[in-house]
């Protein structure tokens, strides 16, 4: 199979044909969910046939990260004279859930077997010196050279907003999965007394969790980081999910105890007057937010920012992931259920505070603030690591619709429904009305958003109202319309598609909801697939504007958000 240059790939866009435009699709009939299942099967079949490892001296059950939608050439990353055929197992967890779920819905064992074979091989061969896997934001596996590769050498482990399908991994190799789970905590938590963690872990250093370490329960949060760590909020979902899975699957009470301490740290960080919490638990001496805005906000630091910037979006990520972990604990039952209720209640409270303090209903945007409630004078930000737009007002997102919808289903609080209703209006879904209706849904909406679809499925699950399922099907049809004839799901303007794309998984859940079989599927997860590294190939306009030699695969290949 010949390798395509990025320039050659772009010229092929003109010949790329997808299914009919969403504007020509009628509002779907929820009684007919087979089209979603058929689309997911087409996707899975082509990924299994064309996306498995055939590149190095050993043919393995691993999958490539991305494929050209016509030629099926793999995504290749150019770095310092080398070319890597990327396999980033962290970015393929939606694929693992999709394949496992397909077997659950169809009874065809081959899909689940493909996922299990890939997971087993990853646990055996992608292991780093300290027990972590070669996956995540800065690490990947080169299928051509059968080696770990990444930013600055194959040494930096990073998981951000990633919640791997550990249940599958535990199923195929419990001992190896336990080592990975423990190494995540052992590698990233660097100050156990404070529970200060870093987004990076060096795979060459020991990564053994110190479950018996002393813990300072009463420290003021946020606190200065002794080790100069960056405790980004988006590192908490992976740590939390890992700790919960280790507690449930591995029956580790110490892991659950420390996971509760971590989640509670974010409650301790809430401002006593406003209830707001920033995007880090600790802050550094040379703080980047202070460099940007200290001249107008002398007290600012990264731990006092309430903004939508992806590293510090405290309320756009953690509450949803926390509720998902809470549901895992509830399902485990027994003593775990008490902790699950606590996680869910904290998350629901956080979302209410965020809506009350930061949402401008008149303008329909979320305002960036400091935790004391001060609106950030974002236009006056100095350029550096941050740019002024990092703190600009943000439009409602499908992620927040999913969050508020989940909170309503779990807590039955109308404040969460009101915000879900507001998010729906701003996203073009019409007026979903009060919980019992009536509804004025926009069944001609053009919205094609995975997270918004999950939100609608949560609202349908809470109400059992077929009108909400019909609206969900409309969004599902819009997503379905992006499927290429090959079965892959490229984003508009791209000729490459992820094998770990989220669209097939949400369509599978839509098919499950129509059939009344959602409970048989792997639970959906807040996830963010990306690979961040120096790229020596052709860059597009968006990449060229970055003040950084590094870029992300979402921009290089998939024409998607960072």
- What is the SS3 assignment for 416-457? HHHHHHHHHHHCCCEECCCCCCCCEECCCCCCCCHHHHHHHH
pLDDT at 22: 35
Distance CA 101, CA 94 (A): 10
Backbone conformation region of residue 275, classed left if phi is above 0, alpha if psi is from -120 to 50, else beta: left
User: Which residue blocks in 144-235 are alpha helix, DSSP H?
Assistant: 166-172, 174-188
Residue entry with tokens 């603030």: 369
Report yes or no: 525 and 324 within 8 Å, Cβ to Cβ. yes
The residues facing 359 across adjacent strands are 366
Distance CA 343, CA 319 (A): 9
Distance CA 201, CA 180 (A): 13
pLDDT at 263: 98
Structure tokens at 318: 């953690």
- pTM for the model stands at 0.93
The residues facing 543 across adjacent strands are none
Distance CA 555, CA 543 (A): 7
* Cβ-based neighbour number of residue 521 at 10 Å: 20
The residues facing 74 across adjacent strands are 67
pLDDT digits (tens), the chain, 562 positions:
333 443 433 333 333 333 333 333 345 566 688 999 999 999 999 999 999 999 999 999 999 999 999 999 999 999 999 999 999 999 999 999 999 999 999 999 999 999 999 999 999 999 999 999 999 999 999 999 999 999 989 999 999 999 999 999 999 999 999 999 999 999 999 999 999 999 999 999 999 999 999 999 999 999 999 888 999 999 999 999 999 999 999 999 999 999 999 999 999 999 999 999 999 999 999 999 999 999 999 999 999 999 877 566 889 999 999 999 999 999 999 999 999 999 999 999 999 999 999 999 999 999 999 999 999 999 999 988 888 888 999 999 999 999 999 999 999 999 999 999 999 999 999 999 999 999 999 999 999 999 999 999 999 999 999 999 999 999 999 999 999 999 999 999 999 999 999 999 999 999 999 999 999 999 999 999 999 999 987 765 555 555 567 899 999 999 987 6
3-state secondary structure of 53: strand
Distance CA 240, CA 184 (A): 10
What angle is formed at CA 122 by the lines to CA 119 and CA 127, rounded to 5 degrees?
140
Distance CA 30, CA 345 (A): 33
3-state secondary structure of 231: coil
The number of CA neighbours under 13 Å toward the Cβ of 338 is 4
Distance CA 127, CA 139 (A): 11
Give Cβ neighbours of residue 81 (< 8 Å, ≥ 6 apart). Answer: 536
Report yes or no: 178 and 106 within 8 Å, Cβ to Cβ. no
Pick the closest to residue 552 from 90, 560, 499 (CA basis).
560
Distance CA 25, CA 29 (A): 11
DSSP 158: B
Residues in the chain: 562
Report yes or no: 394 and 365 within 8 Å, Cβ to Cβ. yes
Distance CA 319, CA 408 (A): 13
């Amino acid at each position: 199979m010949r390798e395509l240059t990025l320039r050659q790939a772009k010229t092929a866009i003109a010949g790329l044909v997808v299914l009919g435009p969403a504007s020509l699709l009628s509002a779907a009939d929820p009684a007919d969910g087979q089209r979603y299942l058929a689309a997911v099967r087409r996707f899975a079949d082509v990924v299994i046939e064309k996306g498995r490892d055939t590149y190095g001296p050993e043919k393995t059950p691993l999958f490539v990260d991305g494929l050209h939608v016509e030629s099926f050439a793999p995504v290749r990353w150019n770095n310092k004279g080398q070319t890597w055929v990327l396999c980033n197992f962290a970015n393929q967890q939606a694929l693992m859930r999709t394949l496992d779920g397909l077997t659950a819905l169809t009874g065809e064992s081959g899909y689940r077997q493909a996922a299990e074979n890939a997971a087993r091989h990853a646990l055996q061969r992608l292991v780093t010196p300290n027990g972590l896997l070669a996956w995540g934001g800065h690490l990947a596996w080169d299928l051509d050279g059968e080696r770990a590769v990444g930013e600055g050498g194959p040494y930096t482990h990073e998981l951000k907003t990633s919640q791997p399908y550990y249940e599958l991994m535990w199923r195929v190799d419990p001992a190896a999965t336990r080592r990975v789970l423990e190494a995540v905590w052992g590698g990233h938590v660097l100050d156990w007394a404070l529970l200060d963690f870093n987004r990076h872990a060096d795979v060459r250093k020991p990564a053994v969790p110190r479950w018996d370490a002393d813990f300072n329960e009463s420290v003021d949060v946020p606190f200065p980081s002794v080790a100069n760590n960056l405790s980004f909020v988006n590192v908490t979902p992976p740590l939390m999910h890992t700790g919960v899975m280790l507690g449930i699957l591995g029956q580790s009470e110490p892991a659950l105890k420390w996971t509760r301490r971590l989640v509670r740290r974010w409650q301790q960080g809430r401002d006593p007057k406003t209830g707001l919490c920033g995007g880090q638990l600790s802050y550094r001496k040379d703080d980047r937010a202070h460099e940007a805005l200290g001249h107008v906000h002398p007290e600012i630091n990264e731990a006092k920012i309430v903004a939508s910037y992806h590293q510090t979006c405290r309320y756009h990520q953690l509450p949803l992931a926390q509720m998902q972990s809470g549901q895992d604990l509830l399902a485990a039952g027994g003593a775990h259920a008490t902790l699950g209720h606590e996680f869910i209640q904290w998350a629901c409270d956080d979302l209410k505070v965020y809506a009350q303090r930061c949402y401008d209903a008149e303008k329909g945007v979320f305002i960036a603030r400091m935790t004391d409630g001060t609106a950030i004078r974002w236009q006056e930000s100095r350029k550096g690591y941050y740019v002024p737009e990092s703190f600009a007002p943000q439009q409602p997102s499908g992620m927040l619709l999913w969050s508020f919808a989940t909170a309503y289903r779990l807590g039955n609080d109308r404040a969460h429904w009101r915000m879900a209703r507001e998010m729906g209006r701003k996203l073009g879904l019409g007026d979903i009305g009060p919980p019992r209706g009536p509804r004025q849904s926009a069944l001609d909406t053009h919205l094609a958003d995975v997270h918004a679809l999950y939100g609608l499925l949560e609202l349908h699950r809470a109400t059992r109202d077929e009108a909400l399922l019909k609206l969900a099907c409309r969004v599902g049809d819009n997503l379905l319309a992006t499927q290429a004839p090959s079965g892959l799901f490229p984003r508009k303007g791209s000729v490459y598609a992820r094998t770990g794309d989220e669209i097939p998984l949400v369509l599978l859940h839509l098919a499950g909801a129509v059939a009344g079989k959602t409970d048989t599927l792997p639970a959906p997860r807040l996830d963010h697939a990306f690979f961040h590294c120096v790229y020596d190939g052709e860059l597009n306009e968006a990449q060229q504007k970055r003040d950084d030699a590094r870029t992300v695969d979402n921009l290089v290949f998939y024409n998607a958000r960072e």
